[in-house]
A = this chain, B = another copy of it.
């Protein structure tokens, strides 16, 4: 294996891996998707919390903050008495929503393939 060979395509920072990174957080893609699809690109923390069954407050905040740091959303704080914060999808965020929709769409179109997969996590029968 020499340098310059196709093997170098698989470095840590290659496109494929960076794409996958986006899906490595469990909630990121769902937040992005929900934000875009059901919340019209902007929502308050509480709304998001209630829109994503199963997520904990901590994970929401944490993921949202990471997303902000990544430039996927904008965090706006209103200095009101009961704290109010909302998160808005950035144009960059929307680019990734496209990808996510692509992926989710594939999932819907290929549900049979997904069904054919012998899952190793839910099998009890």
Mask, A6-43, CB within 8 Å of B = 1, is 11101111011011111110100110010001100000
Q: Are A104 and B19 in contact (CB under 8 A)?
A: yes
Question: Given the known A-B contacts A1-B38, A52-B10, are A106 and B19 also in contact in the complex, defined by CB atoms under 8 Å?
Answer: yes
**Which residues of chain B are within 8 angstroms of A122 by Cβ–Cβ distance?**
13
What is the oligomeric copy number?
A: 2
A84 at interface (Cβ–Cβ under 8 A)? no
What are 8 A-B residue pairs whose CB atoms fall within 8 Å in the complex? A16-B30, A19-B106, A20-B103, A23-B24, A71-B116, A72-B117, A92-B117, A102-B103
| A38 (CB) vs chain B CBs: closest residue | B1
Q: Which residue of B lies closest to A20 (CB)?
A: B23
